[in-house]
Amino acid sequence: MRAIRIFFIVILAIVLMLLAAANRDLVTISLMPESLAQFAGGRWSLTMPAFVALFLAMVFGVLVGLVWEWLRESHLRAESSRRAHDLAQLQREVGDLRRTHAAPRDDVLAILDEAARKPAAPAGSGSSLHAPR
């Protein structure tokens, strides 16, 4: 995957360098129509190589697209956050229920469970009482 990424970047760099070499002529970009520029005052145009104008347009388009998608998907991020919060709450509830249902329900059942967990005493250990005859 890394080799494909490097190959793509190298090809993109070669294409951009060829594009820059082919478009070195100067172009003038007007930022405001001439009729409005005289009211605003100042110089509202830029002179730059054509490839710079092209690259700036591409960067501007990518940035506008990123912001647009980020705003468009904001409701998805909010929904994801809400669902993560709900999932955490449900996991806490399941943990509480497991602890509650794992506990014995009755004292008699607790004694029986405890006796079942203890190992049985050996027969000749002398710990049992003999009933008189």
Question: For residue range 95-116, what is the model confidence (pLDDT) as tens digits?
Answer: 888 887 776 567 777 777 777 7
Please tell me the distance from the alpha carbon of residue 6 to that of residue 78, in angstroms, as a whole number.
Answer: 35
pLDDT in tens, 7-35: 999 999 999 999 999 999 999 998 888 87
**Residue 123 gets which letter from DSSP?**
T
Q: Does residue 24 contact residue 51 with C-beta atoms inside 8 Å?
A: yes
Q: CA torsion sign, 47 to 50 to 52 to 54?
A: positive
Query: What's the length of the chain?
Result: 133
Q: Is 31 exposed, middle or buried (0-12, 13-18, 19+ CB in 10 A)?
A: exposed
Q: Residue 132 — very low, low, confident or very high, per pLDDT cuts 50/70/90?
A: low
Q: Could you give the C-alpha distances from 62 to 16, 30, 68, in angstroms and in order?
A: 16, 21, 10
Cβ-based neighbours of 30, under 8 Å, separated by 6 or more: 37, 44, 45
Q: Residue 126 — very low, low, confident or very high, per pLDDT cuts 50/70/90?
A: low
